Amino acid sequence: MMNVLGIESSCDETSVAIISDDKLTANLISSQDFHVKYGGVVPELSSRAHLQIIVPLLKDALKQSALELKDIDVVCATAGPGLIGALLVGLTFGKSLAYSLQKPFIPVNHIEGHIYSGFLMEDKPEFPCLTLVVSGGHTLLLIVKSHDEIIRLGTTVDDAAGEAFDKVAKMIGLGYPGGPKIQKTAENGDPKSIAFPVANLKNHYDFSFSGLKTSVLRYIQQKYGPEKKIPESDLPDITASFQNAVIRALIHNAERALKEYDVKSVSLAGGVAANKVLRNALGELAAKYKKKYVVPDFVYCGDNAAMIAYRGYKIYQSGKRFNYDFNAFPGLLPGTFKVK
Amino acid sequence: MKLPLSLKVFTEQDTIDLANDFSKILKPGDIVALNGQLGAGKTFFIKHLLKNFGIDYVNSPTFSIVNEYSGTFNINHFDFYRINRLEELYDIGFEEYLIRDNSLTLIEWADMIPEVLPKKRLEINFLVNDDFSRNITIRRIS
């Protein structure tokens, strides 16, 4: 029996997960489990919040998996990219735990974790796989060739897609979190009613959402004046058109990649992968090119430790070993991905 | 470039020219606070400013709170947009970034947590006009 512990604390969420013999037995996430179990305090953006909750989460994860601490065989934790103060909590905790148990420690790249969220599904992606990682902090188009070769085709040159959702939602008064609110409001809108532009970039696989944000601002400022009082009845068309522009940009680059690269499957990951219109649009694209399509369940789209445990397990199986003094890296490690 | 400066910009190129000029007066240890509404062009300005220091990829740090780049010298690119209160900044080690005097610090949405800003700094304000031109003002505070 092989028990793998995963720890994630790169940004706002603290999460602890356990995989036992390829089966996920626990995946606890602070924002979902914190309020209910640990006294109803909303965790603020802080390393202290990670510190307060990481031990209770570990205890609960062990209990849920009917395991004791000594049963853990490998400890995996996110080492970057992320907010350094937040990263250090999970990473240091993971390293110390591994050292005290005298078990291997595996540092995991957060983005690689997201890529591997598709592998938590029963029907797994097949290599090579075209993967779109879309979240509040990242927008990446990648080809995952094998467990140890990932090629980055494109990334955002300014705002991430999820950030564009949040900021436009704020601009038009929908509030936070922007993604779900825009998706809901857009349901009754016509996505073709307003022609918001899609950026054309030098590297055809890159993304840019800053110009789109500005053009939404320009639209509402010109139409509604400096007061920006938008009648509620106009919101569905604005949100549907905005959402359509973001998704068009993502799908456009993904289709370009499908024409150029021979892949077996297509997958979607990251917090924005929870957007139903995007899930469907990429699914249709995969079907058009007769590719297998894997999209993680909602719970594995946002930050979670299950994906970190799974990715770490694969690294462990490849035979790679790391020292207990492995450092956090706030940016993307150079060389993590080959850049096309 | 003579400060204080107040300029009306009409095109992206105007903003790029201003960013290029501004880069010439910056040195490691400087702290630049940038203020302006969503879509005013703060990240755009920084993106072109940092090209002058050999940095090609500049992403918005809204989600990550801080991006670090190394070019001609080290750059800390902060964004206070998601910060709710002062303690959160102390918690992520904001002060430690500031005392590294070999780096340049840029802070978007600086006016969201004004009490944390050092007394000596450069400040840039972006104002979007009705015709979508921008008024950009740059001043030195000491």
* pLDDT tens string B100-132: 778 999 999 999 999 999 999 999 999 999 888
Q: In chain A, what residues touch B91 (CB-CB under 8 Å)?
A: 46-48, 85
Closest chain B residue to the Cα of A48, Cα to Cα: B91
The Cα–Cα gap between A205 and A220 comes to 29
Q: Do A214 and B93 touch (CB under 8 A)?
A: no
- Do strands B31-35 and B121-128 pair parallel, antiparallel, or not at all (unpaired)? parallel
Please check whether the two domains, A3-116+300-339 and A124-295, share a CATH topology. Answer: yes
Q: In chain A, what residues touch B132 (CB-CB under 8 Å)?
A: 218, 221-222
Phi–psi pair at B106, nearest 5 degrees: -115, 135
Report the phi/psi class of residue B92: left, alpha or beta, with left for phi > 0 and alpha for psi in -120 to 50: alpha
The Cα–Cα gap between A266 and A289 comes to 10
Q: pLDDT confidence of A31, banded at 50, 70, 90?
A: confident
What pLDDT, on a 0 to 100 scale, did the predictor assign at position A96?
98
Secondary element (H or E) of residue A140: strand A139-146
Best mutation target, B69, B91, B129, to test chain A (most A CBs within 10 A): B91
The number of angstroms, rounded, from the C-alpha of A311 to the middle of its chain's C-alpha atoms is 14
Q: In chain B, what residues touch A218 (CB-CB under 8 Å)?
A: 39, 132
Does residue A37 have a pLDDT over 80?
no
* pLDDT tens string A287-327: 999 999 999 999 999 999 999 999 999 999 999 999 999 99
What pLDDT, on a 0 to 100 scale, did the predictor assign at position A35?
47
The number of angstroms, rounded, from the C-alpha of A300 to the middle of its chain's C-alpha atoms is 8
DSSP state, A330?
Answer: S
The Cα–Cα gap between A126 and A189 comes to 36
Question: With an 8 Å Cβ cutoff, is B15 touching chain A?
Answer: no
Q: How close B106 comes to chain A (CA, Å)?
A: 16
Question: With an 8 Å Cβ cutoff, is B58 touching chain A?
Answer: yes
Over A259-310, what HEC string results? HHCCCCEEEEECHHHHCHHHHHHHHHHHHHCCCEEECCCHHHCCCCHHHHHH
What pLDDT, on a 0 to 100 scale, did the predictor assign at position B92?
79
- Do strands A265-269 and A129-134 pair parallel, antiparallel, or not at all (unpaired)? parallel
Superfamily of domain B5-141: P-loop containing nucleotide triphosphate hydrolases (3.40.50.300)
Q: In chain A, what residues touch B57 (CB-CB under 8 Å)?
A: 155, 157
Q: How close B81 comes to chain A (CA, Å)?
A: 10
What pLDDT, on a 0 to 100 scale, did the predictor assign at position A33?
55
Pick from A202, A205, A234, A212: which is nearest to A163 by CA? A212
Q: How close A340 comes to chain B (CA, Å)?
A: 15
Q: In chain B, what residues touch A83 (CB-CB under 8 Å)?
A: 64-66, 92
Q: pLDDT confidence of A85, banded at 50, 70, 90?
A: confident
Q: Do A85 and B91 touch (CB under 8 A)?
A: yes
- Is the Cβ–Cβ distance between A235 and A174 less than 8 Å? yes
- For residue A14, the tally of other CB atoms under 10 A from its CB is 31
Q: Do B130 and A221 touch (CB under 8 A)?
A: yes
The Cα–Cα gap between B96 and B98 comes to 5
Q: Where are the beta strands (DSSP E) in A183-228?
A: none
Q: In chain A, what residues touch B128 (CB-CB under 8 Å)?
A: 217, 221
End-to-end CA distance of chain A: 40
Q: pLDDT confidence of A175, banded at 50, 70, 90?
A: confident
Best mutation target, A13, A171, A217, A337, to test chain B (most B CBs within 10 A): A217
Does residue A83 have a pLDDT over 90?
no
Share of chain A above pLDDT 90, in %: 76
- Is the Cβ–Cβ distance between A295 and A268 less than 8 Å? yes
What pLDDT, on a 0 to 100 scale, did the predictor assign at position A39?
44
* pLDDT tens string A176-187: 788 999 999 999
Question: With an 8 Å Cβ cutoff, is B50 touching chain A?
Answer: no
Mean per-residue pLDDT for A110-116?
94
Q: In chain B, what residues touch A331 (CB-CB under 8 Å)?
A: 67-68
The single residue listed with the structure tokens 């340049």 is: B104
- Which of A47-61, A254-268, B17-31 is least confident? A47-61
Q: Do A214 and B39 touch (CB under 8 A)?
A: yes
Q: pLDDT confidence of A1, banded at 50, 70, 90?
A: confident
CATH for A124-295? Answer: 3.30.420.40
Q: Do B66 and A210 touch (CB under 8 A)?
A: no
Q: Do B92 and A86 touch (CB under 8 A)?
A: yes
Share of chain A above pLDDT 70, in %: 94
Domain ranges of chain A: 3-116+300-339, 124-295
- Is the Cβ–Cβ distance between A5 and A76 less than 8 Å? yes
Question: With an 8 Å Cβ cutoff, is B39 touching chain A?
Answer: yes
Which residues are bridge partners to A141 per DSSP?
A132, A154
Q: Do A81 and B64 touch (CB under 8 A)?
A: yes
Domain ranges of chain B: 5-141
Question: With an 8 Å Cβ cutoff, is B70 touching chain A?
Answer: no
CATH for A3-116+300-339? Answer: 3.30.420.40
- How many degrees, rounded to 5, is the angle at CA A245 between CA A241 and CA A247? 115
Q: Do B91 and A48 touch (CB under 8 A)?
A: yes
Q: Mean pLDDT, chain A, as a whole number?
A: 91
The Cα–Cα gap between A177 and B11 comes to 32
Asked if the bond preceding A81 is cis, omega within 30° of 0, the reply is yes
- For chain B (142 residues), the mean pLDDT of every run of 10, in chain order, is 95 96 96 94 95 91 88 93 86 83 93 94 95 94 92
Q: In chain A, what residues touch B87 (CB-CB under 8 Å)?
A: 46
Does residue A58 have a pLDDT over 60?
yes
Q: In chain A, what residues touch B82 (CB-CB under 8 Å)?
A: 45
In this complex, the residue of B85, B91, B132 whose CB is nearest that of residue A47 is: B91
